[in-house]
Structure 1
């Protein structure tokens, strides 16, 4: 739980900083006209995800980041090599340096995940998953997604999954809410009622 609070604080701070940078005027001080760049908040999210994926794909690298034997400077040096290949936004380079100084690099995957939640909320996007016992046709998936978007009044990024163990019905997860209308859940409730003698 503490880790989650720490990750959320860092993600919120970075998101706020990205919002300030997004709001800055892009006048002559910025130089010649270039192709439109990804807005800083979105670039931060992309860079955080790339770094988090790199750390998670290399468990030994994550262990080095969590090991107190290595100094902040050593961790910065290792991450510096990684970031040279990824070329993140300069603010992300500074942010990762701060995490190294504070001994918080191990939270980078959680920070990236929560940053994504903040970015989605800012764009009015909700993510969810619909689990069914049988695969749904594309037409049925589209119809369900449209109906849920209408009810939520938000854009829904919905993943569809099949799990035969639910026997029938659906399990819908949207944001932090779960609706378990599966046959397995209903049978479990019936079993509990029988045990209680109802």
Structure 2
């Protein structure tokens, strides 16, 4: 089974459990999973430990207990992580957190995207662009901002699986192809 499929299945199961508990619990599970993913993402040696077949389940659960203690998670999340340890799925925890976050965003009507510009935008301009895009989409938008001088000018907006490339680099590439074809 692919890691992505495994992560989605476990995320859906935890999400369904959280929905039965209520919206507040669902949000709490999302926050706890994010914290755990950050802790594990910042510690590649722990992830290598969880992936290693050399260590048995009890040793992995011992290390997991310390990680969960540091992340201060609720008993239900501890039980979920113990289940992952029993099924040898701990390495998928960051992917599960990502899949759970996507499910949570869908329920909350949040769309995540990335806005790439050639130069750093002032905060007022960022807010203005975000507000206009939210108005167009009719949903709350969470944007990550990046600067990539290689686009020369304009913007590249990536939302979900859609890309709007309104950069000067893209326009020049189109012009170059048009000239090559002799149109």
Tell me whether the two structures share a fold, i.e. TM-score over 0.5: yes
CA RMSD of aligned residues (A): 1.7
Give the direction of change, closer, same or farther, for the CA distance of 1:134–1:84 in structure 2 (3 Å limit).
closer
1:145-184 matched pairs, under 5 angstroms:
145-184=130-169
Shift of 1:61: 0.7
Query: Does the CA-based 8 Å contact 2:115-2:157 persist in structure 1?
Result: yes
Confirm or deny that 1:10 pairs with 2:10.
Answer: yes
Shift of 1:197: 4.9
Shift of 1:196: 4.7
Inter-partner Cα distance in structure 2 for 1:3 and 1:151: 35
Give the unaligned 5+ runs of structure 1. 24-38
TM-score by length of 1: 0.85
Secondary structure of 1:135 counterpart: coil
1:25-44 matched pairs, under 5 angstroms:
39-44=24-29
TM-score by length of 2: 0.92
Q: Which deviates the most, 108-117 or 82-91? A: 82-91
Shift of 1:143: 1.7
Give the unaligned 5+ runs of structure 2. none
The size of the alignment, in residue pairs, is 183
* Equivalent in the alignment of 2:77: 92
1:2-151 matched pairs, under 5 angstroms:
2-22=2-22, 39-151=24-136
